[in-house]
Amino acid sequence: MFLEPFSKENRLPQNKRLVLVTGALQVLIGIGAVPAGLGFILDPSGSKIGMSPEMLAGSPFADFLVPGIVLFLVNGIGSLAGAVLTLRRHAIAGKAAMGLGAFLMAWIVVQVWVLGPPLHWLQILYFVLGVVEFGLGWQIERE
């Protein structure tokens, strides 16, 4: 099955609107995460994007390098890869969307826990996007 991931046998017959909305959401999340993750990788202090290592006090991280790598790879590249799976209607697209949505929600929960209050509006937005992505993935799985 995985050797020929885009063969007709491995594609799910899905509602076109559901596929487009899910894929577009994954592209949006990926496009937001790739430059932010790269910013942290290239400048682990976070100063170029308005963050400081002091924000990580009490966390296992001295700087933003490891969070930047995870942000870039999972929420960035992972979401863009998820969009390809979804738009190509691959059989694992629903599971991928659910996994990516769950990871995004967990990412925000950990971020709020580590950084503490006040809650930023982007954290609320991305948590909601994670919920929506998970729900869309669940809907794809049901079809």
User: What would the pLDDT profile of 122-142 be if each residue is shown by its tens digit?
Assistant: 999 999 999 999 999 999 999
pLDDT (0 to 100) of residue 118: 86
Going by pLDDT thresholds of 50, 70 and 90, the confidence category of residue 1 is very low
Both structure tokens of 23 = 């894929």
Q: How far, in Å, CA of 26 to CA of 12, rounded? A: 18
Of 55 and 76, the structure prediction assigns the larger pLDDT to 76
| The pLDDT of residue 7 | 56
Hey, what are 57's tokens?
């006090």
Q: Is the pLDDT of residue 87 over 70?
A: yes
Most distant CA pair in the chain, distance: 52
What residue has token string 């769950």? 102
Q: Give the mean pLDDT of the chain.
A: 90
How much is the pLDDT for 9? 56
Whether residue 143 contacts residue 14, with contact meaning beta carbons closer than 8 Å, is answered with: yes
pLDDT tens-digit readout, 7-38? 555 565 558 899 999 999 999 999 999 999 99
Residues 6+ apart with CB under 8 A from 84: none
Lowest mean pLDDT among 10-14, 96-100, 111-115, 124-128: 10-14
> For residue 133, what is the enclosing H or E element?
helix 121-142
Asked if residue 133 lies in contact with residue 22, where contact means CB atoms within 8 angstroms, the answer is yes
125 vs 114 pLDDT, higher one: 125
Q: Is the pLDDT of residue 104 over 80?
A: yes
